[in-house]
Amino acid sequence: MTGTSWPGESRVPEEAARSGSGDSRPPARSPEEARASTGPTGNRLTVLSGPSGVGKSTVVAELRRAHPEVWLSVSVTTRKPRPGETHGVEYFFADGDEFDRLIACGELLEWAEFAGNRYGTPRTPVLEKLAAGVPTLLEIDLQGARQVRATMPEALLVFLAPPSWEELEKRLRGRGTEPEDVIARRLAAGRVEMAAEQEFDMTLVNTSVQDVCHRLIALMADAPEASRPGRSPS
Ligand code: 5GP
C-alpha cells in the first residue's frame, strides 16, 4: 500500500499471529469484535463468499452503485492490479513486506492466501462502521469467512453459488485476465469452496446480479430472520 495512509491502526501482534490461513488455530476474538459484530442499530456484519468467478465483485459493484448506504470493506491484497482496478477502490494493493507488517501489527480482521496471493480485511474500519450502525459487507473467500465465523459468530454468512459448475468455469475463463495455471488454481479452490456451502447461513444462486443485490439488501436489512438456513435461487 505504498503511498497510502492507513485508516486507523490497532496493534495486537500476539493476536494477529494466530490469524490467517497459515495457522490452524482459530483467530482470537477481541473485545471490540465481540461488541462490534452487532451494531447499535441491529446491523450485523454480513459476509459474501463463494467460488472465484461466481460474480461476487460484479454483485459488489452493483451494490456500490445502487446502495451507497451499505459500506463495503476494501481489502488489502498482494495480487497485482487487473486492468481498470484502482488502488483504494477495489483493493489496497500491497507488497509482501507491507502485508507481513499488517499481520504483525494486528491490523487485519482476517486474512488468507488464495491462488498464490494474500488477501486481508483491514480491522479498524470494519469495527468503526459497525459501531456507528452502518450496514457492513465483506466480500472474502471461504478461509476468511471461517475466520469471521470464529471471531464474530453473529455475522451473517452468505454463499453466492453459480447456476452450475459449467457456468462457473465459463465465467472464470471468459474473464480473460488470468493465465491458464491461475485459472486451474482458482477452479481447484472453487471445488473446495462449493463443498463448504452448508457452512453458510444462506445461499443465493447468481442467476441475475440485480436479483442477488436485491436479496442481499433484504437479508442485511432483516438480518435476524434472514439468518435461518436456506437456499434461494435469485
Ligand atoms: P480476486 O483476485 O479475484 O479479486 O479475489 C480472489 C479471492 O479472494 C476471491 O474469492 C475474493 O472473495 C477473495 N478475497 C478478496 N478480498 C479478501 C479478503 O480480504 N480476505 C479474504 N479471506 N479473501 C478475500
Per-domain residue ranges for the chain?
31-73+134-233
**CATH architecture of the domain with range 31-73+134-233:** 3-Layer(aba) Sandwich (3.40)
**What is residue 23's predicted lDDT score, i.e. its pLDDT?**
42
- Comparing 177 with 208, the larger pLDDT belongs to 208
Highest-scoring range by mean pLDDT, 12-26, 49-63, 92-106, 162-176: 92-106
Place of cell 465483506: 138
Please tell me the pTM assigned to this model. 0.81
Among 72, 93, 114, 123, say which to mutate for ligand 1: greatest number of ligand atoms within 8 Å of CB: 114
Residue nearest to atom 21 of ligand 1 (CA): 140
List, as residue ranges, the binding site for ATP: 50-57
Q: Provide the Cα torsion 63, 133, 225, 202; round to 10°.
A: 40
- Spatial contact of 186 and 169, defined as CB atoms under 8 Å apart: no
- pLDDT-derived band of residue 174, with 50, 70 and 90 as boundaries? confident
Comparing 83-97, 100-114, 176-190, the range with the smallest average pLDDT is: 176-190
CA distance 136 to 44: 7
Among 140, 142, 171, 193, say which to mutate for ligand 1: greatest number of ligand atoms within 8 Å of CB: 140
